[in-house]
Amino acid sequence: MSDHSRCTLYTLVRMMQPKAVAEVGTLFAGTTQVLARALVENGAGEIHTTDPYGAERCPGIIAAWPQRLQAVTHFYPLNSMDFFLTLDQRRIGLDLVLVDGNHDYEFALFDLQMAARLLRPGGIIVMDNAEQTGPYQATRTFLERHAAWREIGDAVKDYDPLNPFDPTRSSVPGTTFILLQAPPHVSIGAGPHSWGQVFTDMTSMKGISLDLGSQSTAGTLFYQVIFRGFADGNRAGVELKEVGSLRVEAGGVARTIVHDLKNSLRWEGAATYPDARYSFEVDLSWQSDPGAGPLALARPPGAVGDT
Ligand SMILES: C[S@@+](CC[C@H](N)C(=O)[O-])C[C@H]1O[C@@H](n2cnc3c(N)ncnc32)[C@H](O)[C@@H]1O
């Protein structure tokens, strides 16, 4: 990677002071080391890096680094799908992600979408290889679907269909990066907006809580809530669903809405199973009134229990 690219990564980490950085595509851990150095200079933060073909190569390279760099670096010999799944299951929120794995369009789009899902509001994704069709077109597709995100730079805005393989395009001169920044809130549009299955200590669910950011908008929020119970080594279980909608009028001030479901979701037979555990999943779709914008949440929706 060019000196400009390495310098950009180092500077981003020094400026953002991220708690968690992720990298898809470790190769020889060159960029991993740049990112780890910046984290060590910050005095805080960790990097999670993955490469499905690096199991034999990467641990040895990282083990030869100074101890303080090793201490902040976590290598995973996984493809990006298993990597993001692992981070999600461990509930590791990300501040900065370098996407530099498989550069085919479909893979790059997946990496971008999962990075965005795990990224905290205001976080940054660095997509490498703007000059290649896969990462570049995946970024265009992503930005078309996520209006609240912005590119820091003009590589996408300046797309010229008569020059579709432009080798010079990038967000930062001297690099091959496209820099994307998440909105400062969770932006809800038509969707899909789901945060997957969240395991919970609640044994039943009677509502959802929505922390509205400060904004002016109005419309109807549609939701689907799924509450699941698992027991007896997953041989027993239930999936309880509630679909509904609520009118939201946000007049500038941040506030929390607690919305009751029409029916509480409770597994009546759970008492038979001492090992019962539960998860909830919320899916949202926002239909704004004419002229109104997307709905801004301070964080993903929460579950409200009734026990
Ligand atoms: C361009 S290299 C990464 C370079 C590295 N970031 C650097 O500049 O030092 C791309 C890496 O992505 C890895 N890779 C390929 N498919 C992948 C996938 N599905 N998930 C994660 N990494 C993948 C390859 O093994 C390769 O090592």
Give the CATH number for residue 230.
2.60.40
> Looking at the structure, do residues 46 and 125 belong to the same domain, yes or no?
yes
Last residue of one domain, picked from the residues 160, 184, 208? 184
Q: In angstroms, rounded to a whole number, what is the distance separating the alpha carbons of residues 182 and 175?
A: 21
Q: Which two tokens stand for residue 110?
A: 């997946």
For residue 31, give the ligand 1 atom closest to its CA.
Answer: 9
The mean pLDDT value for 109-113 works out to 98
What is the band of 1 on the pLDDT scale with cuts at 50, 70, 90?
confident
What pLDDT, on the 0 to 100 scale, is given for residue 192? 87
Q: In angstroms, rounded to a whole number, what is the distance separating the alpha carbons of residues 105 and 109?
A: 6
Total tally of structural domains belonging to the chain? 2
Pocket lining for ligand 1, CB < 6 angstroms? 1, 24-25, 27-28, 30-31, 50-53, 79-80, 100-102, 107
Give the CATH number for residue 74.
3.40.50.150
Pocket probe mutation, ligand 1, options 4, 26, 65, max atoms within 8 Å of Cβ: 26
Share of the chain above pLDDT 90, in %: 92
Domain that holds residue 227: 193-304
The pLDDT mean for the chain works out to 96
For residue 79, give the ligand 1 atom closest to its CA.
Answer: 20
> Looking at the structure, do residues 178 and 204 belong to the same domain, yes or no?
no
> Looking at the structure, do residues 267 and 130 belong to the same domain, yes or no?
no
Distance 44 CA to ligand 1 centre (A): 25
Q: Where are the alpha helices (DSSP H) in 55-104?
A: 58-63, 67-70, 80-89
Distance 144 CA to ligand 1 centre (A): 26
Q: Take atom 23 of ligand 1 and give the residue whose Cα is closest.
A: 101
Distance 49 CA to ligand 1 centre (A): 10
Q: Which two tokens stand for residue 72?
A: 């902040």
**Contact predicate 30/36, CB 8 Å:** no
> Looking at the structure, do residues 234 and 293 belong to the same domain, yes or no?
yes
**pLDDT, tens digit, 9 for 90 and up, residues 184-237:** 999 999 988 999 899 999 999 999 999 998 999 999 999 999 999 999 999 999
What pLDDT, on the 0 to 100 scale, is given for residue 307? 62
**pLDDT, tens digit, 9 for 90 and up, residues 58-95:** 999 999 999 999 999 999 999 999 999 999 999 899 99
Distance 295 CA to ligand 1 centre (A): 36
Q: Take atom 4 of ligand 1 and give the residue whose Cα is closest.
A: 27
C-alpha 265, offset from chain centre: 28
Q: In angstroms, rounded to a whole number, what is the distance separating the alpha carbons of residues 302 and 86?
A: 21
The mean pLDDT value for 152-178 works out to 96
> Looking at the structure, do residues 201 and 161 belong to the same domain, yes or no?
no
DSSP per residue over 14-42, as a string?
HHH--SEEEEE--TTTHHHHHHHHHHHHH
What pLDDT, on the 0 to 100 scale, is given for residue 147? 86
Q: What's the pTM?
A: 0.91
Last residue of one domain, picked from the residues 165, 184, 203? 184
* CB burial of residue 61 (10 Å; 0-12, 13-18, 19+): middle
> Looking at the structure, do residues 51 and 109 belong to the same domain, yes or no?
yes
**pLDDT, tens digit, 9 for 90 and up, residues 266-302:** 999 888 999 999 999 999 999 999 999 999 999 999 9
Count of residues making up the chain: 307
Residues near 282 by beta carbon (within 8 Å), at least 6 away in sequence: 194, 195, 208, 223, 224, 225, 300, 301, 303
